[in-house]
Amino acid sequence: MVSLRYAAVALAGAALVLSQTGCSTKNYVRSQTAPLAQKTNELDDATAANNRAVHDLDTRTTAGIQGAKDAASTADQHATAAGQSASQAQDAAQNAYNRADTLAGVVANLDSYKPISDVSVTFAVGKANLTKKDKETLATLGDQVANAKSYIVQVTGGTDSTGSAELNYNLSQRRAETVVQFLAATYNIPPRKFYLIGIGKDKEVASNKTRAGRAKNRRVEVQLLTNMDQQQAQTPAPGQEAMQQTPAPMPPQQ
């Protein structure tokens, strides 16, 4: 009986020891794993915050790039529109001038026109700009326009034989346009009065085999012509002019 009582006590003690040992183990494990779990949670929170920050940055960057593209596109459109407007204005100004292969083909009764002034200016190789001397030369013709009646201005551009035919046609045309623009702006000559002809190298005034000859061929010739028939028609006869100047007698008053 006693031995049984000791055995029961021993078993109870052993159970108590095991119970205490198990609790101690759980507490130890809990105390060791709790900081790890907390650290893991902190890392997860930090990772989530970083992901949100990266996403926000990507969104702002994308929006900024798109805004820059839109601004650049708008600027390009404005530049294109401005270029088109300038081109249209230039075309309109140039189209106001008469252009023809020959003056006889566009001016009726050309035989009635007589030249009253004739000047010529020359250009450097490949150039179409006027020098101060050129402007002074053109001024001798421009000064006569104010007193001219029923007139037209024939402007013929030429080149030397250097370069292709197409290049020289374009260059001779540009030279003629430069002269027309100067005369029109300086002396208020209406564009309809001008007749431009670019002949390239087709009509040389000197030999293209020499430097001096080529320099003479790089020119623009300008002629001021007036219609003599129209001037005579507009000018009253001497007797008619006297009649126009003498007032008619007043009827007697009754």
Residue 203 and residue 244: Cα distance in Å, rounded?
50
Mapped onto helix, strand or coil, the DSSP state of residue 101 is: coil
What integer pLDDT is reported at residue 99 of this predicted model? 74
Mapped onto helix, strand or coil, the DSSP state of residue 122 is: strand
Q: For residues 69 and 130, which has the higher predicted lDDT (pLDDT)? A: 130
| pLDDT range class, residue 112, cuts 50, 70, 90 | confident
- Work out the average pLDDT over 49-59: 68
- Work out the average pLDDT over 129-146: 94
From the list 123, 193, 209, the residue with the least C-alpha distance to 161 is: 209
Phi, psi (rounded to 5 degrees) for 200: 60, -130
Average pLDDT taken over every residue of the chain = 76
DSSP-H helix ranges across the chain: 2-95, 132-145, 165-187, 211-217, 228-234, 238-245
Residue 179 pLDDT > 90: yes
Is pTM beyond 0.85? Reply is no
Residue 101 pLDDT > 70: no
**Sequence-separated (6 or more) residues with CB below 8 Å from residue 73:** none
Q: For residues 231 and 114, which has the higher predicted lDDT (pLDDT)? A: 114
Instruction: Look up the CATH architecture of domain 103-234.
Output: 2-Layer Sandwich (3.30)
- Work out the average pLDDT over 129-147: 94
What integer pLDDT is reported at residue 254 of this predicted model? 44
- Work out the average pLDDT over 240-249: 52
What integer pLDDT is reported at residue 120 of this predicted model? 96
| pLDDT range class, residue 52, cuts 50, 70, 90 | confident
Alpha-carbon distances of 154 from 29, 188, 227, 241, 246, rounded to whole Å: 110, 16, 13, 33, 41
